[in-house]
Amino acid sequence: MKIFCIPALLLVGQFSLAQGYEGHPCAKGSLLLKSLMQKKEIKADVYINGCDPDRGQRVSSFLNASGKAPMSVKNPNFKPPPDWEEADGDYAHDNWTCMYAGGSAVDGNKSTAWVEGVAGNGAGEALMVTQLDLSRKVEILAGFGKSAALFAANNRPKTINVHIVRAHPEPGSASQCGENYDALKLIATKKVTLRNVNEYQPLSLPIFKTETYPYQNEAWDYHYWLMIEIIDVYPGSKYQDTCISEIRNVN
């Protein structure tokens, strides 16, 4: 049985800046997730790139970055500092554009968050996490965990659909930064009600069966991802933005 460890690939990608930055800015959400939730199974060309600042996560939408953007080498007025290295590329700028993108929900920092970017309370928006080990327990920090004030000011997910997505790797596509996938299937769903607390809480997953697919007369493993769909929220006292600070495996 052939097994590829995507988290390991992503980890390698995140520490490859010294060899030349190859990531991209976070420009918009992905229509892929809503199509998958509607059709349950889709053919798609999906590249999960751990070298990108979003760490290979996918979201249906995200809030635009706040504050002033760092200078970029793409800016004609850019003047590199004395210690500038070509390998640094546009990482600082691209990372800024991903401030509220999906990678902020898996960066190990509860002071950052995925924040959906549509009008209203974010019902129907989704986050797909591609680097969890779904054979282990998972926990979630629902809301903006940076402070008690920000937690209360922003929406927190109340009722969610927890989806399991089966991904078919494209043979021979694995690289240092990630891998291509050519088909996704939603294989299990469970409705979950979260507590309104600014702390990690267990995330109950639907029961699903792992499978293999044939390739070159061998059995190869599918990859399995977690997708969170917002159904209802605990309203924020100031903002309508719905936030998830972290989703992680329990140590």
Q: Where are the alpha helices (DSSP H) in 16-128?
A: 32-39, 91-97
Q: Which of 13-22, 31-40, 221-230 has the lowest mean pLDDT?
A: 13-22
Q: How many domains does the chain have?
A: 1
Using pLDDT thresholds of 50, 70 and 90, give the confidence band for residue 20.
low
Contacts of 57 (CB under 8 A, 6+ apart): 101, 102, 103, 105, 106, 114, 127, 128, 129, 130, 131
Inside any domain, residue 119: yes
The answer on pLDDT for 72 being more than 70 is: yes
Dihedrals φ, ψ of 110, to 5°? Answer: -75, -5
Percent of the chain whose pLDDT exceeds 90: 71
The whole-angstrom separation of Cα 144 and Cα 162 is: 19
CB half-sphere exposure, 157, CA atoms < 13 A: 34
Q: Which domain holds residue 134?
A: 6-249
1 inside domain? no
Is residue 175 in some structural domain?
Answer: yes
Out of 14-18, 21-25, 82-86, 146-150, pick the least confident.
14-18
**pLDDT band, very low/low/confident/very high, at 204 (cuts 50, 70, 90):** very high
Residue 236: per-residue pLDDT:
98
Query: 88 pLDDT exceeds 70?
Result: no
Closest CA to 210 of 161, 154, 146, 166: 166
Residue 214 placed within a domain: yes
Tell me, yes or no, whether 184 lies in a domain.
yes
pLDDT in tens, 144-162: 999 999 999 999 999 999 9
pLDDT band at 8 (very low <50, low <70, confident <90, very high): very low
